């Protein structure tokens, strides 16, 4: 008897809208020989004490199961993903692939002071222990987190989405800025690509912190006068660094200041802070849902779901994925 392999896509509660966009893309691009992809039915039963238990309405036996969930706070989002992986494995899924547009706890990638955890490594261990066979994620806070896993990791970059937007803006005196020294490599990558069409210098912002999420001072290194600056980063949390950097750049003579960040964590009044800042515009992706952001906001949300959908299709079909890491 011939076994028919299947691709099944499910979503945990926190990423249902993102998952639907992924499925919509897969449906729009499937050929006549492809199976019809739908978003599978997944129930989460909750108990009065806060405990919950996932269950699949559809059979997953022998299938490649793609589970979509960003693990932003609260920690229930991570626990829900782990339980869903375990449930799929116990239901005899052939492979379980965790699609994590936003990988939480990624900032805890090393011991930067005594007696602290390395949260990113712990999460990697938990995913493997739950039965995960592969992980797909976007713009990890530190690239070396891929090495925390003993399973394949597909590390997707949002740069392809952002450089198209930046190019379409047709900014006269474009310059790319890094919000801190750690982002210099990312800023240089953007600058290198954009410099193929015109000169695009790099500006580095050097910051000193009083404590976590509190910046005391920022200094800009590079020529800022008359430039249309685009700050690139992997995430915006409280937006304190970003807003202060924009203020400093405007004072140094920048014509305009925009920002691109893969993950809009936007905690602790970040949205209000951005709206009242010197920033002209902020671009983020939909790795974290923000239904409260409207068209009147300075913040604009771009979808990276098609990039994840194409990667999922290629992995399932055993097609090359290296071209997906190139900026087009």
Residues carrying an active site annotation? 207
Measured distance CA(317)–CA(35) in Å, rounded:
12
Number of DSSP helices (H) and strands (E) in the chain, helices first: 8, 14
Measured distance CA(181)–CA(106) in Å, rounded:
18
CB 258 within 8 A of CB 229: yes
DSSP calls for 70-138: --PSSTHHHHHHHHHHHHHHHTT-SEEEEEESS-TTTT--S-SSTT---HHHHHHHHHHHHT--EEEEE
Region for 262 from its dihedrals, namely left if φ exceeds 0, alpha if ψ lies in -120 to 50, beta otherwise:
alpha
Q: Which of the 8 DSSP states describes residue 258?
A: E
CB 277 within 8 A of CB 249: no
Residue (of 92, 80, 85) closest to 135 by Cα position: 85
Tokens of 320: 């090359």
Instruction: Write out the H or E segment, with its range, that includes residue 190.
Output: helix 184-194
256-264 and 228-236 beta bridge pairing: parallel
Tokens of 224: 């800022």
């Amino acid at each position: 008897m011939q076994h028919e392999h299947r691709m099944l896509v499910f979503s945990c509660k926190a990423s249902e809208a993102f998952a639907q966009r992924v499925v919509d893309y897969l449906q729009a691009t499937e050929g006549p020989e492809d199976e019809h992809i739908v978003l599978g039915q997944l129930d989460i039963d909750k108990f009065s004490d806060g405990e919950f238990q996932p269950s699949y309405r559809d059979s997953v036996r022998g299938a490649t199961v793609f589970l979509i969930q960003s693990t932003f706070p609260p920690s229930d989002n991570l626990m829900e993903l782990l339980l869903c992986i375990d449930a799929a494995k116990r239901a005899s899924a052939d492979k379980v692939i965790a699609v994590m547009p936003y990988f939480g706890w990624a900032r805890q990638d090393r011991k930067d002071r005594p007696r602290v955890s390395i949260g990113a490594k712990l999460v990697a261990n938990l995913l493997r222990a739950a039965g995960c066979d592969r992980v797909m994620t976007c713009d990890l806070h530190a690239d070396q987190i891929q090495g925390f896993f003993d399973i394949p990791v597909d590390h997707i970059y949002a740069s392809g989405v952002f450089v198209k937007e930046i190019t379409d803006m047709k900014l006269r005196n474009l310059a790319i800025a890094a919000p801190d020294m750690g982002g210099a490599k990312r800023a240089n990558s953007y600058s290198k690509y954009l410099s193929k069409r015109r000169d695009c210098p790099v500006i580095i912002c050097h910051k000193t912190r009083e404590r976590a999420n509190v910046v005391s001072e920022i200094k800009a290194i590079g020529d800022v006068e008359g430039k249309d600056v685009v700050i690139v980063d992997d995430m915006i949390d409280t937006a304190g660094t970003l807003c202060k950097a924009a203020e400093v750049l405007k004072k140094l003579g920048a014509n305009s200041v925009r920002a691109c960040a893969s993950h809009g964590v936007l905690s602790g009044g970040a949205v209000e802070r951005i709206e009242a800042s010197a920033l002209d515009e902020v671009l983020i992706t939909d790795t974290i849902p923000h239904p409260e952001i409207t068209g009147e906001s300075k913040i604009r949300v771009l979808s990276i779901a098609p990039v994840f959908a194409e990667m999922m299709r290629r992995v399932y079909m055993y097609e090359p994925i290296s071209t997906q890491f190139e900026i087009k």
